[in-house]
Amino acid sequence: MTSEQQTNMTIRLIAGFIVVMLVAAGLELLVVQLVNRLFVPGLILPLMEQAGIQSMTVGQSVYLFLGMIFLLLVRLLGLIFQGSLTELGDQILAAIVSHAFTGSKGMVLPHLTGGGVFLLLLVLANMIVLYALPYVITGVLYARFVIGQMRLLQEEQRKEHEKFDADRNLILSDIAHDLRNPITTVLGYARALEDGMVTDPALARRYLKAIEAKSRRVNDLINILFDYAKINSTGFHLQKRTLDINELVRENTALLFEEVEDRGMELDAQISEERWQILADRVQFSRVISNLINNASRHNPRGTRILVRTQAIRHTDRALSYDQMRRGQTQEDRIRYGLGEGILVIIADDGQPIPRELAEHMFEPFAMGDSSRSSRGGSGLGLSIAAKISQMHGYRLILDENYPGYTKAFVVVIPKHWS
């Protein structure tokens, strides 16, 4: 059971318990009215007079019932032990009754004999059953509710397991597809060189460069598959430390700057010079930033502008970002990203828009499809890994298809846990 499922189950059980208790309170109110209007004036008071009991309130009926049970047990023991316990039992019972009814109108408990006592005992027993009945009913209802929730949880887990199996089979199929193409190329070129089929030195060098490029491609795939498997394993934990988010974004942007330019794209870094301290895993959160920048550079045409920006949103209604002209955008960003205070790490581009049918599954493994992965060189796992790592940090990775001046933006929303 995941933490989210545990939370949902707890909420449902608490809500069900509250509803059951409200029902029990309503039924108890009806029982009290029934006792006060029917049992007390119609049965209990007349039987009390017949039994010689002078005064009693409804709340004292339980004490009376228990006292009468005790007295009957003493009488029974008295028959067995030839009456030697009868006097002692009467004295103990009188002490109990006197203590229970202190302040009443001098309740007197005589020797209880005759049919009136039996009827009074029977009526009191039924009255106590009535008092307990609402809780018995609601207890049964709540037990059935809990059983139903457990069955619902089991059904959800069964569906999750089925989805996991289906996703696993899909991932294995896609992995085989992504690895097969470059390996086939490497084997073909290597065999051609080995058999002496390539005599032109320039062509041989081109084959060797292709082998190197495809080998790097396979190595990249293996690395990102390892990352995906690691962050989805049960034993994986983040190593969080206090760090400067602006410094981290700046470092990862600098590492990829040359690669982005080699693809014929423009990288615009608008990173604040301030120090914004957050609690994060440096290695894993670096993967988030690099995966988002790589996604923008690999899945857009040449000439695309890529923006890397950090922005703080504070209650002062002022956006502390590299571009101070964007201060008027703060309130809109606060509403758009559901953030009162916090930090936004934004990677935007003006390249190709994302198809509507793909946008809904953007953060699922291999969401890009075979053709996109093959033509652009992506693995189909970069965004899924970035979303998973962000979630593990307590952050959110969202797709903003209406970011001002750009076709789309991937935004990491970091709530207010920073300084």
The Cα 116–Cα 132 span in angstroms is 24
Same-domain check for residues 148 and 262? no
Asked if the structure places residue 165 within a domain, the reply is no
Whether the pLDDT of residue 350 is over 50: the answer is: yes
Q: Output the pTM of the full model.
A: 0.54
Give whichever of 93-97, 112-116, 241-245 has the largest mean pLDDT: 241-245
For the record, the structure tokens of 267 come out as 């990288």
**Is 325 within the bounds of a domain?**
yes
End of a domain among 130, 157, 184? 157
Looking at the predicted structure, is the pLDDT value of residue 367 above 80?
A: no
Tell me which H or E stretch contains 306: strand 305-313
Q: What is the CATH number of the domain that holds 255?
A: 3.30.565.10
- 132 or 339: which leads in pLDDT: 132
Q: Do 129 and 245 belong to one domain? A: no
**For residue 288, which of 388, 166, 164 has the smallest C-alpha distance?**
388
pLDDT, residue 14, reads 83
- Give the count of domains, the chain: 2
Whole-number Å distance between alpha carbons of 100 and 67? 10
Express each pLDDT in 282-293 by its tens digit.
999 999 999 999
In a domain, 221, yes or no: no
Compute the average pLDDT of residues 370-376. 47
**Domain annotation covers residue 50:** yes
Percent of the chain past pLDDT 90, that is, above it, reads: 21
pLDDT (average), residues 107-113: 42
Across 174-195, average pLDDT: 83
Backbone φ, ψ for residue 258 (5° rounding): -65, -40
Highest mean pLDDT among 184-198, 273-287, 361-375: 273-287
Q: What domain range is 307 assigned to?
A: 241-415
Quick check: is 269 in a domain?
A: yes
Element (H, E) at 307: strand 305-313
- pLDDT number for residue 90: 52
pLDDT in tens, 47-73: 556 555 554 554 555 555 555 555 555
Mean pLDDT of the chain: 74
- Whether 377 is covered by a domain: the verdict is yes
Looking at the fold, whether 262 and 406 belong to one and the same domain comes out as: yes
CA atoms within 13 A on the CB side of 138: 18
Within-domain flag for 148: yes
pLDDT, residue 380, reads: 66
Please, what sign has the CA dihedral across residues 371, 374, 379, 383? Answer: negative
pLDDT of residue 61: 54
Residue ending a domain, among 157, 179, 201, is 157
Co-location of 267 and 404 in the same domain: yes
| Judgement on whether residues 139 and 258 belong to the same structural domain of the protein | no
Q: What is the pLDDT of residue 151?
A: 86
- 389 against 80, higher pLDDT: 389
Mean pLDDT score, 387-402 = 90
Domain match, 252 and 389 both = yes
26 vs 386, more confident: 386
Residue with the bigger pLDDT between 166 and 46: it is 166
177 in a domain, yes or no?
no
pLDDT given at position 216: 83
Q: Are residues 35 and 149 in the same domain?
A: yes
Highest mean pLDDT among 82-86, 166-170, 270-274: 270-274
Highest mean pLDDT among 84-98, 134-148, 329-343: 134-148
Domain edge (last residue) among 157, 182, 217:
157
